[in-house]
């Protein structure tokens, strides 16, 4: 599999949409809106989430590296400054222990169910960090899941990605915000 990357823009929206549709909207219709200011859940519909995401893309208020296998979009890594992605998981615990906000954070990471275990997420994170570097760099935070000392987890349960994936790119643990979730940081 030869992987390439592009950013999510109005030109690549259709490729992204095909991937989301093929995965039942991702988590039943999130459309990768969970970390954006609008959030998801009560009062939100699958169609509303799709439209909200499309609006962000058309307005340019989203940063998201897409991974392609040939012409097929197979995964992504969402990133952005904290105001663009305020709704991280375990936010209450996160807010309680906060010293300073990062310049950037990694939000949602996702690989097509049929393409897991082939380096798609690794390519997505590498592309996101490359974009951050080009945009001036800074402190980057991710909120991945610990897999060490834990029974093996299917990728489906690693909502924010495995710790090893981020450690590979220089992220180190800062503090724990849930039983299996850490704040990790690197400087780009
Ligand atoms: C977690 C996820 C992104 C991994 O994607 P992937 O493309 O399969 O990952 P990669 O092949 O790039 O793996 C990179 C590294 O991550 C780690 N990794 C990946 N899957 C793992 C798993 N199930 N358990 C432990 N570590 C794992 C490994 O260290 C791997 O490196 P290696 O293959 O050299 O050992 C994918 O399983 C997924 O999309 N899960 C659902 C996430 C989700 O729900 N997102 C939306 C909600 S917020």
The CATH number covering residue 177 comes to: 3.40.630.30
Each residue of 78-126: pLDDT tens digit? 999 999 999 999 999 999 999 999 999 999 999 999 999 999 999 999 9
On whether the CB atoms of residues 76 and 32 are closer than 8 A, the answer is yes
Banded pLDDT at 20 (limits 50, 70, 90): very high
Q: Which residues line ligand 1 (CB under 6 A)?
A: 26-27, 34, 75, 108-111, 116-122, 147, 153-156, 158-159, 161-162, 164-165
Q: Using alpha carbons, select from 105, 103, 109 the residue that is nearest to residue 26.
A: 109
Report the alpha-carbon distance of residue 153 to residue 114 in Å, rounded.
16
Which residue CA neighbors atom 23 of ligand 1 most closely? 155
Q: What pLDDT does residue 115 have?
A: 97
- Total domains present in the chain: 1
Q: What pLDDT does residue 149 have?
A: 95
Each residue of 145-175: pLDDT tens digit? 999 999 999 998 899 999 999 999 999 999 9
For residue 109, give its domain range. 3-187
Q: What pLDDT does residue 146 have?
A: 97
Quote the ligand 1 centre to 160 CA distance (angstroms): 9
Q: What pLDDT does residue 188 have?
A: 98
Q: What pLDDT does residue 45 have?
A: 96
Quote the ligand 1 centre to 162 CA distance (angstroms): 6
Report the alpha-carbon distance of residue 31 to residue 23 in Å, rounded.
10
Which residue CA neighbors atom 13 of ligand 1 most closely? 119
Which residue CA neighbors atom 36 of ligand 1 most closely? 155
The edge-to-edge listing of strands for the beta sheet with 181-187 is 3-7, 63-69, 72-80, 104-111, 139-142, 181-187, 172-178
Nearest atom within ligand 1 for CA of residue 111? 39
Q: Where are the alpha helices (DSSP H) in 70-187?
A: 91-96, 120-134, 163-167
Nearest atom within ligand 1 for CA of residue 116? 8
Nearest atom within ligand 1 for CA of residue 155? 37
The residues that bridge with 6 in the sheet, in sequence order, are: 66
Quote the ligand 1 centre to 107 CA distance (angstroms): 14
Task: Evaluate if residue 1 carries a pLDDT over 70.
Answer: no
On whether the CB atoms of residues 178 and 87 are closer than 8 A, the answer is no
Banded pLDDT at 183 (limits 50, 70, 90): very high
Each residue of 27-86: pLDDT tens digit? 999 999 999 999 998 999 999 999 999 999 999 999 999 999 999 999 999 999 999 999
On whether the CB atoms of residues 40 and 33 are closer than 8 A, the answer is yes
Quote the ligand 1 centre to 98 CA distance (angstroms): 27
Q: Which residues of 27-66 are buried (b: 16+ CB within 10 A; e: fewer)?
A: bebbbbbbbbebbbeeebeeeebbebbbebbeeeebbbbb
Q: What average pLDDT does the structure give for the chain?
A: 97
């Amino acid at each position: 599999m030869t992987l390439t990357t592009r950013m999510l823009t109005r030109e690549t929206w259709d490729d992204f949409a095909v991937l989301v549709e093929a995965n039942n909207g991702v988590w039943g219709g999130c459309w990768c809106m969970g970390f954006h200011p609008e959030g998801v859940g009560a009062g939100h519909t699958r169609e509303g989430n799709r439209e909200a995401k499309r609006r962000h893309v058309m307005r340019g208020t989203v940063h998201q590296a897409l991974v392609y296998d040939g012409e097929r979009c197979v995964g992504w890594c969402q990133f952005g400054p904290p105001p663009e992605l305020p709704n991280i998981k375990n936010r209450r615990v996160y807010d309680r222990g906060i010293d300073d906000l990062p310049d950037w954070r990694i939000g949602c990471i996702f690989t097509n169910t049929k393409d897991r275990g082939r380096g798609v997420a690794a390519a997505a994170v590498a592309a996101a960090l490359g974009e951050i570097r080009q945009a001036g760099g800074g402190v980057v935070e991710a909120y991945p899941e610990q897999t060490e000392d834990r029974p093996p987890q299917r990728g489906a349960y690693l909502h924010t990605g495995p710790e090893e994936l981020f450690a590979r790119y220089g992220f180190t643990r800062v503090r724990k915000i849930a039983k299996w979730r850490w704040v990790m940081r690197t400087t780009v």
